[in-house]
Amino acid sequence: MPRCLDPGLSIIVGAVNEHGQPSTCRAIAIDSSDDLETLKVFLPVATSHETIKNIATTKRLAVVATYPFDNSATQLKGQAIEARLASEEEGVFVRERLEAFIGSLRGFGVPGRIASSLAHWPAFAVTIRVEQIFEQTPGPNAGRRLR
């Protein structure tokens, strides 16, 4: 299965409201304990109002995780089954993943001082039931269904 759960990934999510208007938001971390049957997505509270509202309304969520150094990417789509504030225990994981992402950004010359100021906590923990997984690496295979 793709490396979509590795540390250091750049993650964005897409949701949609009841009128078909999409929204987008950066996520700080994703995690799965059941081989991607479900996926837990951590969204900063500060920046995810619209996305959370859309998830509450339509349940639909798409997540793309990209490894910045080689652009390899995976998209996961599914329906939200839970959305709540992340716990302090989960906060440790979120901060670890943020640090790994900051490391990726440093590799591209973004000063750590700036990268460290990315909003990440408190965060919502949104769990989705994964229905589809797609190859998203740029190229002719982008969009190929993996599961």
Binding mask 95-134 for other proteins (x = CB under 8 A): -------------xxx---xx-xxx--------------x
Residues, the chain: 147
* End-to-end CA separation in angstroms for the chain: 9
- 8, 38, 40, 60: which one contacts other proteins (CB under 8 A)? 60
Residue linked to tokens 């190929």: 144
- 8, 90, 91, 137: which one contacts other proteins (CB under 8 A)? 137
In angstroms, what is the minimal distance from the CB of 142 to other proteins? 6
In angstroms, what is the minimal distance from the CB of 61 to other proteins? 7
- Classify the C-alpha dihedral 132-146-65-125 as positive or negative: positive
Distances (CA, A) of 110 to 1, 35, 48: 30, 33, 23
In angstroms, what is the minimal distance from the CB of 111 to other proteins? 9
Residue 44: partners with Cβ closer than 8 Å, 6 or more residues away: 26, 28, 119, 120, 121, 122, 123, 124
> Which residues form the interface with other proteins (CB under 8 A)?
10, 12-16, 18, 20-26, 44, 46-47, 58, 60-64, 66, 69-73, 75, 77, 108-110, 114-115, 117-119, 134, 136-143
